[in-house]
Amino acid sequence: DDCRGLGVGAALMQRALAVAKARGHGAVILLGDAPYYARFGFTAAKTGELSLPGAFERDRLLGLELVEGALDGAWGMITPAGAPLLPKRPLLKTKASRSRKAPLAVPHAA
């Protein structure tokens, strides 16, 4: 709570939008409070025909076009399509992961 209102949220958003644009994305979609995200240009104007796999509040599904018209006629289920950020398995087998079946506590030698 101490850090609210310092502009951290806005700075993170501006950075994320700049990176998304630089990577060639046409639009950004999020679930959030419209009164907050409106300041960045997000609206529900073109998300009415989009849906998510689970339950969600329709008025919180917001979109922002990075390329004009990118969300024109957008419809259907939103599903993950990008590469996962983190690998699902460790990249290297560590000593700990190899010996997972070994006893956790080794008795002291007398």
Ligand X SMILES: CC(C)(COP(=O)(O)OP(=O)(O)OC[C@H]1O[C@@H](n2cnc3c(N)ncnc32)[C@H](O)[C@@H]1OP(=O)(O)O)[C@@H](O)C(=O)NCCC(=O)NCCS
Interface residue list for ligand X (CB under 6 A) = 4-10, 32-33, 35-36
Choice between 36 and 56, CB closer to ligand X: 36
Q: Are strands 50-51 and 76-77 parallel, antiparallel or unpaired?
A: parallel
Per-residue tokens: 80: 């993950």
Task: Report the nearest approach of ligand X to the CB of residue 34 (Å).
Answer: 8
Task: Report the nearest approach of ligand X to the CB of residue 85 (Å).
Answer: 19
Task: Report the nearest approach of ligand X to the CB of residue 36 (Å).
Answer: 4
Per-residue tokens: 5: 């209102």
